[in-house]
Amino acid sequence: MGVVNASPDSFSDGGAHGTVEDRVALAGKLLSAGADLIDVGGESGVTNRPSISAQEEIARVVPLIERVSGELGALVSIDTYKPAVARAAIAAGAAIVNDPTGLRDPATASVCAETGAGLILTHTRAAPKQKLLDPSLDRGIVADVEAFLAERIGLARTRGVAFEQLMVDPGPDLGKTPFQTVEVMRALPRLHSLGRPVLLAVSRKDFIGALTGRSPRGRLAGTLAAVAHGLDAGAHVLRVHDVAEVSDFLAVRAALRGEVGVERALRLSGELRWAQ
């Protein structure tokens, strides 16, 4: 899952792709680099700025989704917790709603039930646009993630969402200290008891910065380490910013693990042998 932000204040790119044209070009680049789907977000999760209206968020994401799903033919997810935005995004071509609040507004589930869109349920105890770092959760964070996601699955089902429409996300950094995120990451295999695919969104996250002392754009190596751990734990979908680098990592990993064949005639082409 490649990330394309349609907000000017993303923590990871700081609005580096400022126009719809720029964002469509980025989506095309991510697809060429190996992304299977594009996650479009219209509101940054940064907590030092207020939430925007649903109308403003719709204005940001709908033109982008129309072009990425239409011109590029991509599978698109919309990163939003607002039912009105989810509905508009689905009408524009999105097939999945990636709710980073874990159905703080259950009407989002109703939208998915009515439209047949997929729904990603994320663990967090923090309200939208608010940071929560609660040390009292240190001892029970893993159990809380399991219980919360199980309860949210039940809530989505009562709203008419089919079990097969659902995916779960343990929410690294969302309402968690770096220590708590590490604890959740270590316990990822336990989430398979929920019976749904697991989305792993660790790209450039704060816990990686805390462990390495790196700012967001310097966290690629740490992201790859977290991705490797997640794959070993059975994660199904990887939400990342650096699609080309993660694709390279996955290609080499698969070859060395014997998961793909390597031809005897494999050679390095001459133009790749030296840096010019």
Q: Which residues are catalytic?
A: 205, 239
The CA distances from residue 226 to 9, 96, 124, 239, 272, in Å, are 25, 24, 19, 12, 28
The CA distances from residue 100 to 24, 147, 172, 174, in Å, are 23, 17, 11, 8
Q: Are 93 and 76 in contact (CB under 8 A)?
A: yes
Q: Are 39 and 239 in contact (CB under 8 A)?
A: yes
Q: Are 221 and 212 in contact (CB under 8 A)?
A: yes
Phi, psi of 216 (to 5 degrees): -50, -45
Tokens of residue 128, six digits: 């939208």
Phi, psi of 140 (to 5 degrees): -120, 15
